[in-house]
Structure 1
């Protein structure tokens, strides 16, 4: 009962001011969905990501679609809506656009689908591994190497990932005799990422003989990335 009153208060507050989406952690978002089962739930990832798994009863509208604002008009701007993406950046953009467009009560789930699945919360779809996904056996064989292996979990739509990609490819070729650098598409390897506790991208994992030596998250410039590889390889 307390959680219901808490979310009603948050909803009324958002409705009164209307301009600022309410940020929620994964657990708070889960509580909101349980307290308000009729809330509008919007997944702003790509159709492919949505097909690989999503929250139950969610509507999928890609925030990168030029017609995004026109398409979200199918939702009721006077009723609460919870928005999520994979990691949080796209949902933040979508929530801001919707608040500016007149949606009165917008909630933004921080950490997105990645943190939701990492917390073993329920999802629909995505039970079959997408084509091109790395099997656990292949991953174990790869990381068992005596030569250090650096795993880069990335996504084609992730701006920091794409910004780092030229550096990753440059060092992959330059340091090939010292370290094996492998890029893994998060969207195609969500189950593997979940098993490894990867819920943000880019995430870097350094292995040697099946043991993890280093874990890094987020954008790094070439100097820092090179220094880190030299330190742990």
Structure 2
């Protein structure tokens, strides 16, 4: 009868050790709290886990690009101090959630994930306005809506996979449906101020206006036939 007791003790110790390894802070926090914690942390470890192309287009100050999709992601993050806070973000939260879980598994004790990613960070006003390339203003945008036709606004980026998939039929529809709908494509990287003011948090985002009022909105990929139904 002693063997089962010993076995039970061994299993308990193993489970406790696993829990200890994965204990600590792993928290998803708002852009406001994310910014505040970075501000109050000495030499903060900020990991942007997007692709290099995304990182080049826009990133948080002092962030380092460690692509979650790279095969050597684990090797790269292993060089960081596990005992100090680490701040993680991506575009809208999908990749950073996986990266945060991996960091927790590796033994990092304080992991803060940016809620909504850099899209929400920018939408909440934490990005630095671009003086060199202000892009379209809200006044310019309002002028686009002054028409008797419906206006479909497509917020996209060159590096956005779903945006690339949708581009061919959007360009085709611009011509085919010109008598009914004005289709305007806005590159968020060239219009960062407007994107932040419009609170665009995910890509692609499509908004359909009629008489300046929002009639329909879609976030993410949409098939050509489903989009056409909305524009009839």
Q: Tell whether 2:112 aligns with 1:107.
A: yes
- Provide the rounded CA distance (Å) in 1 between the counterparts of 2:173 and 2:57: 31
- Provide the rounded CA distance (Å) in 1 between the counterparts of 2:37 and 2:205: 29
Residues 58-137 of structure 1 mapped to structure 2, 5 A cutoff:
58-65=63-70, 67-99=72-104, 103-121=108-126, 123=127, 126-129=130-133, 133-136=135-138
User: What residue in structure 1 maps to residue 216 of structure 2?
Assistant: 214
Shift of 1:46: 4.8
Residue pair 2:133, 2:190 contacting (<8 A) in 1 also: yes
> What SS does the corresponding residue of 1:207 show, helix, strand or coil?
strand
Shift of 1:70: 4.0
TM-score by length of 2: 0.71
Aligned-residue CA RMSD (Å): 3.6
For the structure 1 residues 61 and 175, does the alpha-carbon distance in structure 2 shift closer, same or farther, using more than 3 Å as the test? Answer: same
> What SS does the corresponding residue of 2:189 show, helix, strand or coil?
helix
Aligned length: 215
Structure of greater Rg = 2
- Provide the rounded CA distance (Å) in 2 between the counterparts of 1:153 and 1:226: 17
For the structure 1 residues 86 and 190, does the alpha-carbon distance in structure 2 shift closer, same or farther, using more than 3 Å as the test? Answer: farther
Query: Higher mean Cα deviation, 143-152 or 50-59?
Result: 50-59
Residue pair 2:47, 2:65 contacting (<8 A) in 1 also: yes
Shift of 1:154: 1.6
> What SS does the corresponding residue of 1:215 show, helix, strand or coil?
strand
For the structure 1 residues 89 and 210, does the alpha-carbon distance in structure 2 shift closer, same or farther, using more than 3 Å as the test? Answer: same
Shift of 1:74: 4.1
Shift of 1:97: 4.6
Residue pair 1:80, 1:105 contacting (<8 A) in 2 also: yes
- Provide the rounded CA distance (Å) in 1 between the counterparts of 2:53 and 2:62: 17
For the structure 1 residues 187 and 97, does the alpha-carbon distance in structure 2 shift closer, same or farther, using more than 3 Å as the test? Answer: farther
For residues 174-194 of structure 1, give each alpha carbon's deviation from its aligned partner in whole angstroms, at most 9, with x where no partner exists: 323211222222222221111
User: What residue in structure 2 maps to residue 151 of structure 1?
Assistant: 153
Shift of 1:19: 11
Query: Higher mean Cα deviation, 180-189 or 217-226?
Result: 217-226
2:195 to 193, 202, 223: 193
Unaligned runs of 5+ in 2: 1-18
> What SS does the corresponding residue of 1:188 show, helix, strand or coil?
coil
Shift of 1:150: 0.5
Unaligned runs of 5+ in 1: 1-13
Shift of 1:113: 1.6
Residue pair 2:129, 2:193 contacting (<8 A) in 1 also: no
Q: Tell whether 2:38 aligns with 1:33.
A: yes
